[in-house]
Chain A
Amino acid sequence: MDITVNILLTIATAATPLLIAAIGELVVERSGVLNLGVEGMMIMGAVGGFGAGYLTGSPWIGLLAAIALGAVFSLLFAVMTLSLATNQVATGLSLTLLGLGLSGMMGTSFVGQPGARLPNLDIPGLTAIPVIGRLLFGQDPIFYISIALTAAVMWFLFKTRTGLTLRSIGDSHTSAHALGIQVIRYRYLAVIFGGACAGLAGGHLSLVYTPQWVENMTAGRGWIALALVVFASWRPWRVLAGAYIFGAVWIGQLHAQAFGIPVPSQLLSSLPYLATIVVLVLISRNKRLTMMNTPASLGQPFVPDR
């Protein structure tokens, strides 16, 4: 029983950073902006979170630093693509390259240092309940934030007027502009929100997952988050499902490798990617629904004529 609980806990830990980064990017893409810099913003969050936690000794300050660094880094992208109308794909890619390089440079003195770890939740009486106690009341704080964030984004996008406005901008920025909606302002806020989420996801890696700094420690998770958004056809609950499927198969194949199953390890390592894509493609069979949820102006620069 304990083993099962432990496995479930590790799955949640593996899925959480993917979920947070993907939910942030989902909001960005719903506004019609494609930010391929998730990996770069995430690694900046990871190095910032670790550094602040290490220097102050407080993982909570580290967490705030991770969010702030991700947001500031995304602001760079916003100024380039929204105010200067640069190509979003090229700018996003360079943001990732810049983030990877910059974080390596900033983190040279952190390599091999012991970091501060965010403590798991511990509620007397509740956490001690067998099986469900640790699952429901004994995880790291960012896990709870990720679930609350998904619910909040879902509510925001589909139940509030501001969320409707954001979706309308993603559908057609020219129509939105003609109605007098402040397209650029909404997109700035969306991009910064996405950056803060990516930073938080990076902070999870260096403050919870493996509380240390290793160069390039995001290891492609930003790209997986990006793919999740597309394969989940821009719907929050599907992003959650995708992140957890990925996490589950990831942990599963690690255990399978440890057991020494006679399957090439490369094949096992590719399983999480395959499984996630297959499942998400299957649940997005409805072409019409996918079409309705795809932001039609995604990736197009918006330049109002003046």
Chain B
Amino acid sequence: MSANQDDANLLEVRGLTKTFGTLTACDHIDLNVAKGEIHALLGENGAGKSTLVKMLFGTLEPNSGEIFWNDQAVTITNPGFAKKLGIGMVFQHFSLFEALTAAENIALSLDDGSPISTIAAKARALSYSYGLPLDPQSLVGDLSVGERQRIEIIRCLLQTPQLIILDEPTSVLTPQEADKLFETLERLRSEGKSILYISHRLEEVKRICDRATVLRHGKVVGHCNPRKETAASLARMMVGNDVQAVVRAPVQGIETAQPLLEIRALSRRPATPFSIPLRNINLTVRAGEVIGIAGVAGNGQGEFFESVSGEVPQQDAASVRIRGKDAGGLSITGRRLMGAAFVPEERLGHGAAPRMKLSENLLLSRHATDGKVFVGAGGMVKSDAIYAAAQRIIKAMDVRKSALDPEAAALSGGNLQKFIVGRELDRRPSVMVVNQPTWGVDAGAAAHIRQTLIELARSGSAVLVISQDLDELFEISDAIAVMHNGELSKPLPIAEATFEKIGLLMGGAEPGHAEHALETS
């Protein structure tokens, strides 16, 4: 405990509790935020951080507990009231309107009724004074994720809040953009504003936060001064025990290994006005290696995954080759039959049918590849064989569940992801393509998934991982390529890759994007 009890508290939370059905998302949370400090709220996914701040911003109603603002008890019933008090919020999943301009988006959260042109001028002036340049007339749908976050921040600052809540602000930024954000936050602190900073990234919390409150399973498990802690000790507080480190043995002679997945001059026109075209992508993944694709969200990763998995087949059959054969014209089932396996980003509704049992979900993705095992004479489904296979996967991946064969939606995000990855691994695929393998998965499960991906590669398969999490890519990849605006950079061998180099590529520092790189660096 290093809380400065002498300083006046701007915000004090006592015994705040929120339950959803039988789940207690927040259990008697206590939290103090002093004036002029950056206070970290640390915790894994599902620890109750987002629920807590939603109650502070008035979008959720607590079941019990008290909130004090400048030592006055307050009941925050709606976001409008929170704004009046002086609480501003930058959401993790942005609350922006794609079809409106930046200025219109900002106007919607201000209640002063001044004309849009005045607001646009104010926003422009403020954005330049904080070094976050913003064009108020641009359409949000056309902007990058980093630029969208600027709108959120400027919108928040225009309300002149005393407390700014930032929910996982750097998860969508390049390392350089994150540096810029930290400068802004430090300037705000020097102006006497308080910041509640929500993150699970320990290094940045150590770097900018004065105090931290750590949540686990909806409870406060500790307060600390992050600067006096190590990343490992903070992780232990968050997770409750030590997280096993991922082991990656170096590969030898990969240049001569057989290419199992080849992407040749893959291009794709944008499907909607707001989506990204793919421009002449080339990539080879060889037997035995893990290739990582980094990039800020929304730079074409989703479109790329769709094209590689066959959700959207290509005109040019040679643009995707699996085990030396053209696969570009094939559907997802056709590509699976060639030995490839795919794990999409969205777990519910894409990777799994939410209201179907795990065994049924297993059949859905493997009825073609494992037709002989799962489907008998006359197209009758062999329930016993499928059930047995599902149980085998559940055991191998340590999937925790409440029933023998529950519906997919009944599993937590991490456990469902373990099942989906396990379902594909169980086939021993020779090509595995995974989009965001551990997004929203707790640290223990994430380490397990990463380790199995490495082991699959080392057993002779080609593994391609698309991820926004740079730490993850550095942990598991043998080489990292970067996707920016629908183009893919050359893979950088892991020995040569640094956060800085990858970060510059994520910002667009490649021939043809030089001007943009100067702007952001």
A: which residues have CB within 8 A of B? 161, 164-165, 167-168, 171-172, 174-181, 287-288, 291-294, 296, 304-306
Contact = CB atoms under 8 A, between A and B. Distances in A.
5 contacts: A161-B107, A167-B99, A171-B98, A172-B95, A178-B95
Given A171-B98, A304-B59, 14 more contacts: A161-B107, A161-B113, A168-B97, A168-B104, A171-B99, A171-B100, A172-B97, A174-B95, A175-B96, A176-B97, A180-B58, A180-B80, A180-B109, A291-B273
B274 interface: yes
B79 interface: yes
Most buried by A among B60, B78, B99, B107: B99
A144 B207 CA distance: 67
B471 to A, nearest CB: 29
Q: Is the interface of A mostly helix, strand, loop or mixed?
A: helix
Contacts of A292: 99, 139, 141, 273
Interface in B70-89: 78-80, 82-83
Nearest to B89: A178
Contacts of B20: 305
A171 B105 CA distance: 11
Contact of B79 (A165, A180, A294): A180
A288 B100 contact: no
Contacts, number: 69
A287 B79 contact: no
Most buried by B among A161, A177, A294: A161
Contact of A164 (B82, B104, B139, B274): B104
A300 to B, nearest CB: 14
Nearest to A291: B273
Top-7 shortest CB links A-B: A180-B79, A175-B95, A178-B95, A180-B80, A288-B273, A171-B97, A291-B273
Contacts of A179: 79, 95, 108-109
Interface in B194-218: none
B22 interface: no
B114 to A, nearest CB: 9
Q: Is the interface of B mostly helix, strand, loop or mixed?
A: loop
Interface residues of B, number: 30
A293 B272 CA distance: 14
Contacts of A305: 20, 60
Interface string B154-187: 0000000000000000000000000000000000
B113 A175 contact: no
B84 to A, nearest CB: 10
Contacts of B109: 179-180
A40 B83 CA distance: 42
Interface of B: 20, 58-61, 78-80, 82-83, 91, 94-100, 104-105, 107-109, 113, 116, 139, 141, 272-274
A306 B96 contact: no
A8 B282 CA distance: 62
A178 B107 contact: no
A181 B78 CA distance: 9
A94 B367 CA distance: 40
A32 to B, nearest CB: 11
A269 to B, nearest CB: 37
Contacts of A167: 97, 99-100
Contacts of B91: 178
Contacts of B95: 172, 174-176, 178-179
Contacts of B80: 180
B59 A178 contact: yes
Contact of B108 (A165, A287, A296): A165
B164 to A, nearest CB: 15
A306 B61 contact: yes
Contacts of B82: 180
A168 B105 CA distance: 8
A49 to B, nearest CB: 37
B115 to A, nearest CB: 9
B108 A168 contact: yes
Contacts of B96: 172, 175
A281 to B, nearest CB: 17
